[in-house]
Structures are given as C-alpha cells and as structure tokens.
Amino acid sequence: MLTLTKLDKKLIFPPTDIALTEPNGLLAFGGDLSAERLLLAYESGIFPWFSQNEPVMWWSPNPRGILPVDNFKCSKSLKKFVRNCNYQITINIAFNQVIDECATIPRDDSGTWITYDMINAYKNLHRLGHAHSIVVWNEDTLVGGLYGIVIGKMFCGESMFHKATNASKVAMFSLVEILKSQAAEFIDCQMQNPHLASLGCVEMPRDKFLIILQQQSQKTFDKSVWQPQALNLIKWL
C-alpha cells in the first residue's frame, strides 16, 4: 500500500522519485503556501495543484512538460497576426489582474484551478520579485496574458488566458522572445496537453528535467528584464 507524505511546518519535501505514478506525480499533501515553501518547491521541481476546499497537493510528474524556447512553434499566420495586430505588450503591469483572470476563465483540463489561497500566494511572490506576468492589451483593455515563477533562468509557467483572438499566443510569443534575448532556454510547462504541444512543448523524463532545472537555477536574468515596461512586438519579427 502506497503512503502519501504529509507535510508539516518543516520546510522540506520528500524526494521526487517517490511520487506516485497514478495520479501521475502526486508527491505530498499539506504544508502551506508561504513564499519560502513555494520557492523551495519550484527549485526542487515540485509545484502545488489542488482545488478549493482541498488540502494543498504537491506534484512532480514524470514525464515533465517542457518547452525549449528554440522549439516554439510560431506559425506564419501567427507572425502575420503579430505584425498586423494592434495589441500592446507589457511586463509586470497588472500582474494581479492577470492571475485573477486566469482564475476565472473556464477550462477543459483539471490543471488550471487557481484557488483563493494560491492567488494570494502568487501575488505575494510577485511583490517579492519572483513571479512575473506578460500582459496583452487592446488599447486600454486587458485581453490576454500569462504568469509564472522564475527560478534562475527557468521560467515556470503557471497559467494563461485570452479574451481576444490569439491574445494568449501573442503573450507566449513575447515571453519566448524575452527569454531568447537573455539566453534562457526553457519554459517549464509542468504537464503536457494538446494546446501546449501545438506550441512546441515536449515531454521529458523527470530526472533529466531536474538536471536542467539545477543548471538553470544557477543562472540569473538581468535585473532590468522584469521591470514594469512596455515591449515592441515588431522588433522580434
């Protein structure tokens, strides 16, 4: 009989290789969503994923969904759309709005539930400089975006949303170009799904992912990258 580890106040996680195979990657439950615990989790290849009124559940799936930025699939139609659209892109402006929108958009898969506690925890990580957002605007209206956690030069994607045509794809395109400009190589997508696969996400054995994560965690972005700012889409085309 398999026993799931229950976390207590100690900032420690069990080794990822004891995570369950069914459901894939479930490693532990309990603990809290403090900034210290969340950062330790992401540094260890672990992330929280649970529904409202459930205990915090911690996961490290095998295989892992990961998007090498050079593998990002930007179709001709998307490039044409980016070239002709009137969208404006900003970094870390309206982070709170982005996560609130991600939490309310209906999804088909079970991996996108964002509880009230998680919203507050990630807003706190943003205030501390660890969580960042890419925001897509149409004039003054927020129409899409994404957010995630940065560990060294690994961007750990959490969620995205769109309210207008291709807005989330434009956000991802922008993120990829930002990462390329900093010689960052990967986006951690956690779990593969058809939409992410269409963008270039691949599955990687967990042990290989953890090696890459360790390597990327030793690197750093320029401090200016995540300062609130507007971006010029056209320069990347």
* Angle between helical axes of 35-43 and 116-127 (0-180°, round to 10): 90
pLDDT at res. 60: 98
pLDDT at res. 112: 45
List the domain range (segments joined by +) for residue 218: 65-236
Q: 126 and 47 in one domain?
A: no
Q: 98 and 132 in one domain?
A: yes
Distance (Å, rounded) from C-alpha 43 to C-alpha 13?
11
63, 93, 109 - which closes a domain: 63
Q: 57 and 77 in one domain?
A: no
pLDDT at res. 102: 94
pLDDT at res. 38: 98
Three-state DSSP class for residue 59: strand
The 10 Å Cβ neighbour count of residue 108 is 8
pTM of this structure: 0.94
**Consecutive H or E run containing 68:** strand 64-68
Q: 146 and 189 in one domain?
A: yes
pLDDT at res. 107: 56
* Intervals of the chain under pLDDT 50: 111-112
Q: Which two tokens stand for residue 117?
A: 């506690």
